[in-house]
Structure 1
């Protein structure tokens, strides 16, 4: 039996790709659905993507307190899990499953661009960090499970990723989105189509200053015939109001992740721009002819330094894949 644990739409897309790539048999999908209002859109997109017929069993976790019952049910029916597929190397929920299940293989699947950061900061050196939840730990022990104080530090991990990660420590297999590319019936790139701007979830004084964010949008508006703006699913109402005031901009609210939206609606773009969205990677894989551009931020802080790191990684990967 193979267990797949997902919490976001992209994780689910990557889980399906992993299931096909590894040709797994006996597949159980565990879905952690967030009840936070800020994640409502993403949770609904995740639920809408899931086709129960693709899995032997689908288990939804809507309340964290039910996690012990799910794990104990799995342990009772499957003393040893063949493959455990999960994102977020230092995630608390993932660590609860990892510590309380016996498994033969642990396969890390993408959680967007976090893969690049988590590989460099934790996976490569098998680092741990403290993430203790005392009340939850008490609840785990009451239900016969091991509690969690440290997350990460897993040595025996394979990586299934869209990113070009060079490692002589871990087995790395590339996710080329075979399922998504098999669904494509058109080319995304069209030189006469509008520019696509992928919104970012990190707009604040401590990350991407709103003033720089809006300056970038206004500059694009002045220099292009048309912009299709895709908001991040956590975008604030106040930012939306300002974005809507930009000239020459079409505000597109997708009903599904942008990768699925592009396929289902046969969307075309002359270029895709953003500050560091995972969609810059995924769309470039779906259509290698599509120009992709990372927008530079002048502000210097931890977040923008990571975006700069991401830009360099993309340029290296793009050049590598082209050769």
Structure 2
């Protein structure tokens, strides 16, 4: 770890989008490599780990001290990190997931001059409203608190009355939250996302998978795919799996339909930038990537499928749809 006298900026992430957001925040707040610490906190599966590794290299985290808190040795290493940070001056604490008890350990367990929440997909909108409705309610159970205490981690910090959001969503400042809104300058510079020469390969229509929807998910998903096929009867449709989706389940659902299922192996934004393929349009019900793709690749047509049955399950659905449209995402009704 860097010198005990060095003031740190600590970045806590568990997903690819959180890491992309932290790369943008690191540039915006002027955090040098020597004064930064990246904590990759218990990513949920090997696909997530692989995508985080790719982004760490591409977005310039190589020279930043990085701590990997993996599932297999999480508690063992968490105690060591806590002891190392206990007496370090921390200027800013950048948190990827407000609702995760793992991330909460960092923003309640260590004193920092400023607390900044970076984007965690559409959940960011939910977090934003939750802070206004209930404050920063703790997600750490009494049992977890006792375990943490035995490890020498005391959740003592009083969260400030006003916190910061570093976000690409158009969320206004309020008496509880200050917002800094960005449009991915680091990502766009790194991957050169301006429109490039047309590929010799036939153009594609992309569909962005999502893992939520409960018991009606698969039924609604098939209807959404059929809707896209009706709109593009002569086009090649590629279904991009979310990293939490199951391939066998999708193969069974889409059997007989002219749709190719892919797990890109890298975030969809990186896939679009580096694959060399030309995309005519992207579709999804409410994937965060509808927003990020339109921000990063404004020349691509991006469509949000307005599905009333699924929309009833999504908090702040009308507000989210409005934000999609403000970014140039078009709506198509199922």
Q: 1:231 to 1:257 in 2, by over 3 A?
A: same
TM-score (norm 1): 0.85
Q: In the alignment, does 2:26 pair up with 1:19?
A: yes
Alignment partner of 2:106 out of 86, 97, 100: 97
RMSD: 2.8
Alignment partner of 2:287 out of 272, 277, 283: 277
Q: In the alignment, does 2:234 pair up with 1:223?
A: no
Taking the aligned partners of 2:83 and 2:173, their CA distance within structure 1 comes to: 35
- Structure 1 stretches lacking a partner, 5+ long: none
State the number of aligned residues: 309
Q: 1:246 to 1:22 in 2, by over 3 A?
A: farther
Which aligned pairs between 1:1-323 and structure 2 lie closer than 5 A?
1-25=8-32, 26-34=35-43, 39-51=45-57, 54-62=62-70, 63-65=73-75, 66-76=77-87, 78=88, 80-120=89-129, 122-125=130-133, 127-147=135-155, 154-169=160-175, 170-182=177-189, 183-184=191-192, 186-187=194-195, 193-205=203-215, 208-224=216-232, 225-299=235-309, 302-304=312-314, 306-318=316-328
SS of residue paired to 2:195 = coil
Asked whether the equivalents of residues 242 and 263 of structure 2 are also in contact (C-alpha less than 8 Å), the reply is no
Q: Deviations over 1:230-268 (max 9, x none)?
A: 111111244311354253322222111111111121332
TM-score (norm 2): 0.83
SS of residue paired to 1:299 = helix
Taking the aligned partners of 1:189 and 1:315, their CA distance within structure 2 comes to: 27
